[in-house]
Structure 1
Amino acid sequence: MTTIREIYHDGFDLYEPAWQSLLQTAGLTSDDPVTRTFGLFDNDQLVGTVGHLGPIIKQVAILSDYQGGAAFNELLSYMMNYLAEQQIFHYFVYTTPTHRAAFEHLGFSLIAQTDGVVLLEQGLGNFERYLQRLKAKLHPGPTAAIVMNANPFTLGHQFLIQQAAQENQQVLVLVVATEASLFTYQERLALVQAGTRVLTNVTIASTENYLVSAATFPTYFLKERAPLKVAAVQARLDATIFKHYIQALNINKRYVGEEPESPVTQIYNTTMQATFGTEIQLIIKPRQRNGTEIISASKVRQAIQAGDLTKLQTLVPPSTAHYIQAHLTDLQHRREDFQ
């Protein structure tokens, strides 16, 4: 008889070697961040595992002798019940095309698929409803789009939106909702809104879990630590989602800034251009500079840690500078993973 229990893989757990071996056999990595990991045991033998990061189910692996349905269903049912106990009722699976049918058999719906990866969802809410909420915010007619993390909102972000607003009838700015940044989503959203308030043809909304998220593009948040081959695969999925679904909102252009400093963002821009083809025009704008220095959110975060308020004035709009100054001590004491 099989049982499921949590695995504490902190380097000391008895089952960690077996867990790592199980993931490697399935072509998965043990370095992929998770909130919780559970193991399926037959007596004392680890025969399957499943993890999650917030609403994203991941690291599903089952010993070959136990594959065939029962172990998979037991693991996934346990995880979905566990997420419900955590008040998470809408969840995602990022997996390979070979496992798509197994998840669809459990009621998951396809969001997008490339040659290498598949993104599915299940639960309250879905992508079509998300699109309808976005559509209700927009006027009829062609729309330009910008997707930004804005961690935090800089003069560079502001300039990109201003350029798009001057060149288009309306602009939809989608702020990344994933909480993997120094500034929280609500802070980033508020700073984008404050920095674009005078632009009457700009609409601000959330990406929710559908663009540049921990579900579609987890390596985006690792930046220089990210394996570039993995980033390329995830970037293609993210671009495919934008192409096949956001285009339904009559979006014909997407604006991005050129990226000379981040290899992952460079890959993202290149992948979008290849994926969009002639269906969506990708417009790459030169980055704003402070003298000879490129303005970037990472330089703002460095100035925050240094307490250099004078430097901040040259990198961010007054609304962002005012917020940082008012919350400087709190920002300096937050996690430093995002510097």
Structure 2
Amino acid sequence: VLKEKDKIIGSCCRLGNVIKMVAVDPKHQSMNLLDQLMSAMQTHLFDAGYTNSFIYSPTHNRAIFRAYHYQEIMQVQQVSLLEQGQPVIHEVINDLIKRYNPHLIESGALVINGNPFTLGHQYLIETAAAQVQQLLVFVVEEDVSFFDFKTRMNLIQAGTSHLDNVVVLPSSQYIISQTTFPNYFLRNLDDHFKLYSLFDAHLFGRYFSQLNITKRFVGEEPLDLMTHAYNQTLLAVLPEYKMQVEIVPRKHNELGVISASKVRELLKRGDYETLKSYVPQTTFDFLKNNPNYEQKAKDYERAH
């Protein structure tokens, strides 16, 4: 915040490494205040451990931020997403290709959070893997879920180890993240959600298609309006990038729809007998061998 005689004349803030709410008082726009704000924010980001950053800007203002070495990576409905620093999106995609699909095998793709990994997730992956030469399973890397990213990644790898054509990899900050899709975690179905879902879908289509992904699978979503709306956006957008979208019917057990939220509820209650019918053996063994998650689930509910 910049002040003159206790009056705010310029400000900006951040959410993670996304710079937000950049504003300078119109009467002071000839004083290079934006330079001061951007310089201070870059120092703040560096001190916080970030090596790159993002800005959403009205497209007609993007030239302002290009002066600070920001480059546009996507434009949707006259809103631009710009990035600066290292690594940039092209470097991330090239690294993913090198590490996970160096021969550019034609692939299908799934994006899952797996909070935790359930029989529903396993069924979705098995169904998709049976239809493609190779299936890339992107695990949401953003660490805002009950189970942290490392745990979710390990459980998904363990629960799919019997599938030779499945490759499990991190999603990066360009798929369902606080950068591209903050409203997904806020669980607020509004106009901002629609805009961010379009950004997420177009980023996936434009950039991740370079991994030779020609089909994206999503699970049918009868319960969560947010995920259902996101799936509809993917159906509308990804064919523009020659990428098919297939919705796989949701798996049920004798008690109803299998969901990660139900697993967390059963975990909180310590009902491992019922929980066993919702998760693969690998997830069940992990939860039984780590009883601290049961207490954590109880504490989490009290805090929320």
- The TM-score with structure 1 as length reference comes to 0.83
2:153 counterpart of 1:189 = yes
Partner of residue 82, structure 1 = 44
8 Å contact kept, 2:18–2:55: yes
Q: 1:250 to 1:69 in 2, by over 3 A?
A: farther
**Shift of the alpha carbon at 1:254?**
0.2
Q: Distance in 2 between matches of 1:338 and 1:273?
A: 36
Partner of residue 55, structure 1 = 17
Partner of residue 119, structure 1 = 81
Give aligned pairs, total.
Answer: 299
Deviations 1:70-120 (A, max 9, x none): 222211211111111222212222333233222221001222111143222
SS, match of residue 75 in structure 1? helix
Q: Distance in 1 between matches of 2:140 and 2:173?
A: 8
Deviations 1:185-231 (A, max 9, x none): 111111111111111111111111101000111111122xx042211
**Shift of the alpha carbon at 1:337?**
9.2
SS, match of residue 277 in structure 1? helix
TM alignment of 1:277-292, pairs within 5 A: 277=239, 279-291=242-254
SS, match of residue 84 in structure 2? strand
Q: What are the ranges of 5 or more consecutive residues in structure 1 without an aligned counterpart?
A: 1-38
**Shift of the alpha carbon at 1:54?**
2.1
Q: Distance in 1 between matches of 2:109 and 2:43?
A: 37
8 Å contact kept, 1:182–1:338: no
Deviations 1:254-281 (A, max 9, x none): 0000111111111111111111235110
Q: 1:96 to 1:309 in 2, by over 3 A?
A: farther
Partner of residue 8, structure 1 = none
2:270 counterpart of 1:307 = yes
Partner of residue 27, structure 2 = 65
2:62 counterpart of 1:100 = yes
Q: Distance in 2 between matches of 1:110 and 1:266?
A: 29
SS, match of residue 50 in structure 1? strand
1:241 maps to which of 203, 228, 247: 203
2:48 alignment partner AA = Q
How many percent of aligned residue pairs carry the same amino acid?
Answer: 36
Partner of residue 91, structure 1 = 53
- The TM-score with structure 2 as length reference comes to 0.92
Q: Distance in 2 between matches of 1:117 and 1:325?
A: 47
Partner of residue 11, structure 1 = none
TM alignment of 1:113-192, pairs within 5 A: 113-136=75-98, 137-138=100-101, 139-192=103-156
Q: Distance in 2 between matches of 1:208 and 1:81?
A: 23
**Shift of the alpha carbon at 1:57?**
1.8
Shifted more, 76-85 versus 88-97: the winner is 88-97
1:66 alignment partner AA = H
**Shift of the alpha carbon at 1:162?**
0.6
SS, match of residue 167 in structure 1? coil
SS, match of residue 82 in structure 1? helix
Q: Distance in 2 between matches of 1:222 and 1:236?
A: 16
Q: Distance in 2 between matches of 1:217 and 1:69?
A: 34
**Coordinate RMSD, CA, aligned:** 1.9
Q: Distance in 1 between matches of 2:199 and 2:299?
A: 31
Shifted more, 189-198 versus 64-73: the winner is 64-73
Partner of residue 332, structure 1 = 297
8 Å contact kept, 1:228–1:264: no
Q: Which has the higher contact order (CA 8 A, sep 6+)?
A: 2
2:300 counterpart of 1:316 = no
